[in-house]
Amino acid sequence: KYMVKESSSGNDDLILKYVIDYKVANNGRSPSHREISMATGISSISVVNYNLHKLDNQGRINYGKGTRNISVAGAEWRLNAG
């Protein structure tokens, strides 16, 4: 399991855990902002976006342009062969 940093807030931990779980379940595909919002109970897309940028600045994810361009720092995703 991924160990969360003590300096993070609850929202970033929730989002990071959801992103990791989503990517594992979907062969590395990233969730949309709306999916993150619905799954974590964060009602504002701007709060989701803010926390994704915060996680990126902390070096815990790499957050590119577009809603489905999130990679977890240090993770490598491979498609299941069967």
Query: How would residue 2 be classed by pLDDT, with cut points 50, 70 and 90?
Result: very low
The per-residue pLDDT for range 24-53, each reduced to its tens digit, is 999 999 999 999 999 999 999 999 999 999
pTM of this structure: 0.79
The rounded distance, in Å, linking the Cα atoms of 32 and 19 is 10
> What is the reported pLDDT for 64?
83
81 burial (CB, 10 Å; 0-12 / 13-18 / 19+) is exposed
71 forms beta bridges with 62
**Gyration radius from the chain CA atoms:** 12
Query: How would residue 73 be classed by pLDDT, with cut points 50, 70 and 90?
Result: confident
Q: How many residues does the chain have?
A: 82
